[in-house]
């Protein structure tokens, strides 16, 4: 039992987490006049949450197992700083029953449910047994103790394909595999067990019928220490990749009121069955008017801001007050849905490479100027929750989420429109992210329609595509949305060329090399990096290629700028001629510029300039990071890489001599040695990065020549792992 008195005022909280999570908790604690203590690893010495807290203490090396999962070190810091409570955030120790009990044993308030409630829901298999007894509807499946591959294989056969394998001890898509048939089932079971063991120190799996077209609906609930409970309505989290959410919204679009009420009551029934206290989230699968219990997360969720927006409540403040012994501030009848909120998760990942996580330094993080941070502002309705800033590193040791962008409006279409604008104003340079992908995704008509049709016969709503398979079903449409029209591509090329022209003219440097010339006389022709000629126009050869294209294919532009008597510029590029007038009314730094240009496509007859097809005023934002140039406007984004006049690319033959790490990470298994013969498709190396497992297979038959790393080594993205013939 909890040794802490039921009514204990809290004046200082230790936050056993990092990044955006810690910053979010600090925000609410400050509003309540509560001091905060941060902890940090060697990777987070300069992190935002460290600076925001009143005190901060180092607890270990970068790997979470050596820092943020060190329970006793965290307890020691809390006692040392006279904190009365520990908030675990979400992730790390937030659903660790042993840590909750350790807090209690040291007379510290754990801002979360009691240990017995965490235990009851901590293992999905045991949770399903309890929910079955509580008459909460379940998906048919197997959650037994026999975890042999043969028993799990037989369970899959008995359930009927397709089957979903899930880690009993965790969530977030870790240790999860969809098994379509007997083909490859043993490998899938072994991989799920391995990933579950690496992520949660527990290889226990459960198997359940895989619903092909379900929506993922979750209920936010709160319970106090006096037996009171409320649900704060639902969130739709169906838009996922790799079984992980990237778009969440509240309320669920086109969701029947009677299902909302029934699901909310079922969630409270589940919480009551385990004597729950605090914030919790009960997740359901919903298909064709029926819903099934999936799991309960005994913590606050990443997507809680959308529930805050539609209810007007600060849920972290609720957590703190309930943990200190206060009753719930409202009853169910006091709660109502106000407007619509949507959240998207901004990840360091490459959507064009199966969403593999990326890591590295954030050169610039530009977001809407009207956005607030961690708080509700209904006038602006734009919120950016983040724990990073310009110059910060996205570490391979932790989850690759950079920020959450949340918007609110009076209705769903208004929220979608506002989110589009906010994403268009958001730029993260220095590493690959999913920002533009999210913009393309929410712009789809199928997202706006929410894919729902009324089924009058059953007085419910029938789903038509708006489900957990939405991204896979719309992959082609999303890809096509990312392709600029020929017209927009040309405009982006002109903006890139004009930006390069400006850089060479005004900064005396070649953006592809940053080699500066020696003269400081701004009136001297030798001070210009342009191809100045006496009594002739100057030529400025510009070589660059699109970052999304094959690096071996150069998009070579030869641009010749000539001044016109009007003060405008004449641009000749790839046989086309353009008159350019710079309408920019403000100066920017060399890294970020918003250029407004009037562009005319023309041809010359003697001294007469005649307008052809293109004649437009257009604005685009141009960002430089490293040696890349990003051009972005409402039509989309293009990333250009300026090349030196003499450049070389590896040939296909050179690239095929070895296999390279697709991301920063740790090698969990190296399955081959020098001299081994391998066949196409054989597993060579298994990597883990940002809590995700990645299997590297042989692209073709061959003999291993050299292996450059061993199990446990940390490798950088692009490192050659092995070579073979």
Q: What is the predicted pLDDT for the residue at 257?
A: 95
Model pLDDT for residues 1-16, shown as the tens digit of each residue = 344 546 778 999 999 9
Q: What is the predicted pLDDT for the residue at 125?
A: 74
Place of tokens 């959650």: 143
Active site residue 516: no
Query: Average pLDDT for residues 55-75, to the nearest whole number?
Result: 96
DSSP string, 128-196: HHHHHHTT--B-SEE--S---HHHHHHHHHHH-SSEEEEETT--TTTT-EEE-SSTTHHHHHHHHHHHH
Q: What is the predicted pLDDT for the residue at 61?
A: 96
Integer CA distances (angstroms), 474 to 42, 453, 466, 608, in order: 41, 18, 10, 50
Residue bearing the bigger pLDDT, 90 or 561: 90
Q: What is the predicted pLDDT for the residue at 561?
A: 83
Query: Average pLDDT for residues 551-557, to the nearest whole number?
Result: 65
Q: How confident is the model at residue 215 (pLDDT cuts 50, 70, 90)?
A: very high
Model pLDDT for residues 316-364, shown as the tens digit of each residue = 999 999 999 999 999 999 999 999 999 999 999 989 888 988 888 898 8
Residue 263 has pLDDT above 70, yes or no: yes
Domain locations along the chain: 12-111, 140-209, 215-481, 486-643, 652-724
Contact 240, 471 (CB under 8 A): yes
Q: What is the predicted pLDDT for the residue at 349?
A: 93
Fold classified for 140-209: Dna Ligase; domain 1 (3.30.1490)
Query: What percent of the chain shows pLDDT beyond 90?
Result: 56
Q: How confident is the model at residue 212 (pLDDT cuts 50, 70, 90)?
A: confident
The catalytically annotated residue of 18, 24, 235, 299 is 299
Q: What is the predicted pLDDT for the residue at 122?
A: 77
Cβ atoms within 10 Å, residue 657: 12
- Average of per-residue pLDDT values in the chain: 86
Residue bearing the bigger pLDDT, 624 or 260: 260
Q: How confident is the model at residue 271 (pLDDT cuts 50, 70, 90)?
A: very high
Pairing of strands 360-361, 356-357: unpaired
Model pLDDT for residues 599-624, shown as the tens digit of each residue = 998 865 544 444 456 889 999 999 88
- What global pTM score does this model have? 0.81
Q: What is the predicted pLDDT for the residue at 311?
A: 98
| CA atoms 240, 244, 247, 252: torsion sign | positive
Query: Within 13 A of 391's CA, how many CA atoms are on the CB side?
Result: 3
Q: What is the predicted pLDDT for the residue at 668?
A: 86
Q: What is the predicted pLDDT for the residue at 549?
A: 60
For the domain made up of 215-481, the CATH class stated in words is alpha beta
Query: Average pLDDT for residues 193-204, to the nearest whole number?
Result: 85
Residue 123 has pLDDT above 70, yes or no: yes
CATH 3.40.50.1820, applies to 12-111: no
Residue 715 has pLDDT above 70, yes or no: yes
Query: What's 224-262 look like in SS3?
Result: CCCCCEEEEEEEEEEEEECCEEEEEEECCCCCCHHHHHH
Q: How confident is the model at residue 627 (pLDDT cuts 50, 70, 90)?
A: confident
List of residues 6+ apart from 535 with CB closer than 8 A: none
Q: What is the predicted pLDDT for the residue at 651?
A: 38
Model pLDDT for residues 650-671, shown as the tens digit of each residue = 433 333 456 888 777 788 889 9
Q: What is the predicted pLDDT for the residue at 691?
A: 60
Model pLDDT for residues 138-184, shown as the tens digit of each residue = 988 888 889 999 999 999 999 999 999 988 887 667 788 999 999 98
Q: What is the predicted pLDDT for the residue at 172?
A: 63
CATH number of 652-724: 2.40.50.100
Q: How confident is the model at residue 438 (pLDDT cuts 50, 70, 90)?
A: very high
Residue 544 has pLDDT above 80, yes or no: no
């Amino acid at each position: 039992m909890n040794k802490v008195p039921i009514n204990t005022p809290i004046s200082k909280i230790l936050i056993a987490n990092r990044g955006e999570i810690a910053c979010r908790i600090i925000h609410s604690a400050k509003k309540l006049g509560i001091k905060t203590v941060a902890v940090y690893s060697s990777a987070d010495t300069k992190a935002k949450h460290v600076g925001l807290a009143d005190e901060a203490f180092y607890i270990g090396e970068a790997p979470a197992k050596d820092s943020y999962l060190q329970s006793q070190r965290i307890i020691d810091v809390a006692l040392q700083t006279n904190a009365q409570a520990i908030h675990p955030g979400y992730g790390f120790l937030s659903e660790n029953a042993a840590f909750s009990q350790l807090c209690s044993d040291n007379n510290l308030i754990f801002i979360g449910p009691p240990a017995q409630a965490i235990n009851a829901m901590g293992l999905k298999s045991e949770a399903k047994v309890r929910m079955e007894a509580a008459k909460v509807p379940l998906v048919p499946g197997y959650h037994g103790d026999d975890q042999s591959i043969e028993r799990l294989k037989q369970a899959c056969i008995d359930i009927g394909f397709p089957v979903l394998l899930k880690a009993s001890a965790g969530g977030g898509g870790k240790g999860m595999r969809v098994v379509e048939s007997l083909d490859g089932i043993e490998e899938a079971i072994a991989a799920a067990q391995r990933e579950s063991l690496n992520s949660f120190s527990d290889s226990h799996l459960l198997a359940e019928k895989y619903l092909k077209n379900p929506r993922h609906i979750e209920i936010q609930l709160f319970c106090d220490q006096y037996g009171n409970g409320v649900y704060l309505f639902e969130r739709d989290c169906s838009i996922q990749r790799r079984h992980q959410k990237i778009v969440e919204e509240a309320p669920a679009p086109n969701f029947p009121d009677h299902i909302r009420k029934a699901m909310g009551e079922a969630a409270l029934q589940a919480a009551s069955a385990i004597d729950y206290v605090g914030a919790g989230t009960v997740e359901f699968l919903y298909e064709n008017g029926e819903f099934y219990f999936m799991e309960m997360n005994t913590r606050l969720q990443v997507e809680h801001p959308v529930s805050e927006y539609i209810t007007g409540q600060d849920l972290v403040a609720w957590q703190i007050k309930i943990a200190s012994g206060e009753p719930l501030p409202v009853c169910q009848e006091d709660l109502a849905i106000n407007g619509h909120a949507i959240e998207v998760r901004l990840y360091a990942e490459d959507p064009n490479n199966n969403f593999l996580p990326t890591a590295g330094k954030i050169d610039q993080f530009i977001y809407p100027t009207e956005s607030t941070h961690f708080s509700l502002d209904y006038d602006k309705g734009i919120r950016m929750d983040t724990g990073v800033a310009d110059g910060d590193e996205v570490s391979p040791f932790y989850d690759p989420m950079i920020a959450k962008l949340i918007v609110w409006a009076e209705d769903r279409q208004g929220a979608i429109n506002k989110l589009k604008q906010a994403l268009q104003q958001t730029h993260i340079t220095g590493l690959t992210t999913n920002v533009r992908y999210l913009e393309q995704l929410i712009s789809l008509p199928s997202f706006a329609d929410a894919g729902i049709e009324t089924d009058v016969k059953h007085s419910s709503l029938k789903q038509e595509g708006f489900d957990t398979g939405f991204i896979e079903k719309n992959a082609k449409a999303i890809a096509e949305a990312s392709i600029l029209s020929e017209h927009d591509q040309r405009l982006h090329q002109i903006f890139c060329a004009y930006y390069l022209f400006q850089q060479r003219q005004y900064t005396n440097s070649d953006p592809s090399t940053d080699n500066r010339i020696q003269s400081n006389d701004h009136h001297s022709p030798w001070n210009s990096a342009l191809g100045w000629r006496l009594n002739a126009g100057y030529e400025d050869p510009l070589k660059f290629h699109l970052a999304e294209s094959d690096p071996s294919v150069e998009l070579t532009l030869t641009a010749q700028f000539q001044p016109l008597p009007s003060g405008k510029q004449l641009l000749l590029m790839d046989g086309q001629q353009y008159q350019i007038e710079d309408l920019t009314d403000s100066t920017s730094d060399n890294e970020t510029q918003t250029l407004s240009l009037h562009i005319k496509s023309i041809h010359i007859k003697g001294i007469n300039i005649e307008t052809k097809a293109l004649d437009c005023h257009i604005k685009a934002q141009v960002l430089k990071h490293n040696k890349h140039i990003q051009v972005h406007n409402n039509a989309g984004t293009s990333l250009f890489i300026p090349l030196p006049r003499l450049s070389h690319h590896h040939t296909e033959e050179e690239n095929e001599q070895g296999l390279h790490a697709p991301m920063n990470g740790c090698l969990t298994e190296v399955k081959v040695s020098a001299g081994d013969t391998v066949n196409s498709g054989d597993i060579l190396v298994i990597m883990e990065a940002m809590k995700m497992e990645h299997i590297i297979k042989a692209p073709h038959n061959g003999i291993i020549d050299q292996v450059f790393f061993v199990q446990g080594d940390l490798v950088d993205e692009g490192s050659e792992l092995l070579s073979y013939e």
